[in-house]
Amino acid sequence: MANMRKWALNFFVTCMGVLFVLVGERDVHADSHLEAETFMNDYLHTFDTGHIWQITPLYNDPFFMMAPSGEVKVFEGAKQIKKSIKDWKFWMKKSGVATSRYVQLNVWALSPDTALASAEVERADEHGEIRANTGATYTLIRVDGQWKIYLIHLHLPDRVLNFQ
C-alpha cells in the first residue's frame, strides 16, 4: 500500500510539473503574440507619422526584404536602413499616400523571441482614396527585449497567411 501511495504521489507530482511547464509555455507564447501584435500596430503608425530616427530602431541590423520575385535585398548598417526607409517614404509621398491601415493582420508567436506577422495593408490619400494595396509577411525577432523586423516578404494581398 505504501508503494502504491508513493507511486501515485510521484505520478501526481510529475503530471503537475508537466502541466505547469505547458501552461507556462502557453503564457509565454500568448504574451509574445500580444507583444508582437502591438509592435506591428505601433510600427505601421510610426512608419506613417514618425521621423526616420523613430522608425530605424524598429528594424534589425541587418534587415532583409524579399520581393515577390524572390529577389532578396540586404540592408546593413544604419545608413542603408535609413536610406531604405527614406526611399519608401518618398514613394509614399509621391504616390499621394497619407495614411496606412491593416485590412488584416495575423500574428503568430513561434517562440518567446520570434514571431511571424502577415498583413494586407491599404495606403490611402488624405481624402481616403486607396492609392495602394499590398501584402507583406514579416519575420520578427526580439533583440534585447525589443521586437524588430528581420525580414519583410512582399507579396500580393491575397497571399496573406492566416494562422489557425
Q: Where does the pLDDT of residue 121 fall: very low under 50, low under 70, confident under 90, or very high at 90 and above?
A: very high
What is the model's pLDDT at position 49? 87
User: Could you give the C-alpha distances from 69 to 57, 73, 132, 160, in angstroms and in order?
Assistant: 27, 12, 19, 16
Q: How far apart are CA 132 and CA 128, in angstroms?
A: 11
What is the model's pLDDT at position 11? 39
CATH architecture designation of domain 2-159: Roll (3.10)
User: Could you give the C-alpha distances from 54 to 5, 12, 42, 62, 106, in angstroms and in order?
Assistant: 61, 52, 11, 17, 24
Q: What is the mean pLDDT of the chain?
A: 85
Q: Is the pLDDT of residue 20 over 70?
A: no
What is the model's pLDDT at position 73? 96
Q: Looking at residues 123-136, what average pLDDT do you find? A: 95
Is the overall model pTM greater than 0.85, yes or no? no
What is the model's pLDDT at position 31? 85
Q: Which residues of 39-58 are buried (b: 16+ CB within 10 A; e: fewer)?
A: bbeebbeebbebeeeebbeb
Could you tell me which of 70, 36, 50 has the C-alpha nearest to residue 139? 36
What is the residue extent of each domain of the chain? 2-159
Q: How far apart are CA 30 and CA 32, in angstroms?
A: 5
What is the model's pLDDT at position 64? 97
Q: Looking at residues 125-134, what average pLDDT do you find? A: 95
Q: Is the pLDDT of residue 128 over 70?
A: yes
| Cα first-last separation, the chain | 47
